[in-house]
Amino acid sequence: MIRPGDPTLALALQPYLGGWPTNPDKGPADECGVFGIYGHPEAARVVYHALIALQHRGQESAGIVAADGANLNTHRGMGLVSDVFEKPETIQRLAGDIAIGHVRYSTTGSSRLGNAQPVVVNTRRGGLALAHNGNLVDAPAIRDRLEEQGAIFTTSIDTEVLAHLIVRSRAKSLEDAIVDAVSQVHGGYALLILAEDRLIGIRDPHGIRPLQLGRLDGSWVLASETCAFDTIGAEFVREVAPGEMVTISEGGKLRSRAAVREAVAPRPCIFEFIYFARPDSQFVGVNVHTVRKAMGRQLAKEAPADADIVIGVPDSSISAATGYAEESGIPYEVGLVKNRYIARTFILPSQAGRESALKLKLNPLRKVIEGRRVVLVDDSIVRGTTSRHLVSLLREAGAREVHLRIASPPYQNACHYGIDTSKSTDLIARGRTVREIADAIGADSLAYLSVEGMVKATGLSPEAGFCLACFTGDYPVPVPEEADKYALEGGCGCD
């Protein structure tokens, strides 16, 4: 026991498989991960290792595109990075000293090879590859307009909308064409674009989706998270600023410019701290583990419990659970063991599939739990499927009481910026009191961290600003009322 202490016609996408999504109400997925490198003799191999570090952000498909100065060499596949690039010769065929990669969770459409990224297009400017993390709220309307003008789409992802807009731009330079394209869309995004001779990274004006800049032996690297830099031995330089576009070309020269015409207030997604990012990553200048532990401490202050042990739900809740234990003085214990060969359950396409997988994913330690009053700390509750099952597991293992403590506020609003959490009406906190949620889950008590406490735990000034839309309903980027959230898949999106 541990004690506390046209150009459209010129757009030719590479072959894709499958048709349109058949189940638009598919369950949620998660974020995606992107990585890019310029000026490395083994660019594809570096990207491969970086994508493994980002695997937690996407487990459905993976892809790498490398540029050798004349061609874009591509490989994409379904499954984990290690499966897609299982054969050594696969990486060897991806020649070039510039490369980008992508790991993906689908949002609401089908999981199929045709939607795997990076997306590769042939244009009058040469070949381009796009890797995208995020969601464009107006992509369905833009797509409808483009189709009326004769555009042909072969995927169901909003990344392809960006590709069409870039190709159709009359701007003289590629960078100007990209600025022209992103000025026509709204949402949250981190976008990497690979040309035959350059690497470009762009972050949305609010900085909702993360993008980091680093150096590796003289080569520039871009990644969704800094943990990818640690894996490959790169040095973190800085975050790409909200609304910034960086271009790396001409032997490694980096140029920066604004990709948006009007500056807006930064609103990075606070869910990166709560769940998505790895604990060893840095986000908005703060270590993720440190913030999660502070959230747990704050939760213990706001929602104490009379209990014998504190346990956390592996893996994203462990930091918060240890913080709760230290602040409350209740001993921390390992009460749940995770089967690490089971993927995140919320990515599965059916409720039955998620429930079956949950039985394989976590196993309670009866010797630790039996006869005890347990504080179970988790990072969030979305639908409630996982929480309900966890409470049941603990009771079956002999827990006398189960007090559920959530290190974030009630999740009441769907995200439209790249985190698919289904429709708002499917969220268990929507329209229910905390007591009603506790009864539905089967917990003896339930308490959430306050919005104010959550922001305070980041150590940043409230004026710094976060996207809190999933908790407060205050969307920094307006979502069109007529928009069908399920018409297109975002670049990527929880129980």
Ordered by where they begin, the domains of the chain are 7-265 (3.60.20.10), 276-472 (3.40.50.2020)
Mean pLDDT on 359-370: 90
pTM reported for the whole predicted model = 0.88
Q: Is 467 annotated as a binding residue?
A: yes
173-210 pLDDT, tens per residue? 999 999 999 999 999 999 999 999 999 999 999 999 99
Q: Is 492 annotated as a binding residue?
A: no
* Residue 453 vs residue 416, higher pLDDT: 453
The confidence score (pLDDT) of residue 352 equals 55
Q: What percent of the chain has pLDDT over 90?
A: 73
Mean pLDDT on 384-392: 94
Contact yes or no for 84/77 (Cβ under 8 A): yes
323-356 pLDDT, tens per residue? 999 999 999 999 999 887 765 444 444 555 555 5
The confidence score (pLDDT) of residue 191 equals 97
The confidence score (pLDDT) of residue 358 equals 65
* Residue 421 vs residue 218, higher pLDDT: 218
Distance CA 107, CA 269 (A): 17
Indicate whether 18 pLDDT > 70: no
Q: Is 317 annotated as a binding residue?
A: no
Residue 32 bears catalytic tag: yes
259-273, 321-335, 389-403: least confidently modelled range = 259-273
Average pLDDT, the chain: 87
Distance CA 266, CA 205 (A): 7
Mean pLDDT on 223-231: 98
Indicate whether 30 pLDDT > 60: no
Q: Write the single-letter amino acid at 437.
A: I
Question: Which of 32, 227, 492, 494 is an active site residue?
Answer: 32
Indicate whether 33 pLDDT > 80: yes
The long-range contacts involving 363-368, CB below 8 angstroms and separated by at least 24 positions, are 363/336, 363/337, 363/339, 363/393, 364/335, 364/336, 364/337, 364/393, 364/394, 364/396, 364/397, 365/333, 365/334, 365/335, 365/336, 365/337, 365/397, 366/397, 366/398, 368/309, 368/311, 368/333, 368/334, 368/335
Q: Is 426 annotated as a binding residue?
A: no
Indicate whether 120 pLDDT > 80: yes
The confidence score (pLDDT) of residue 6 equals 36
Residue 106: pLDDT band (50, 70, 90) is low
Q: Is 494 annotated as a binding residue?
A: no
Q: Write the single-letter amino acid at 368.
A: V
Length of the chain (residues) = 495
Burial class (CB in 10 A: 0-12, 13-18, 19+), 243: buried
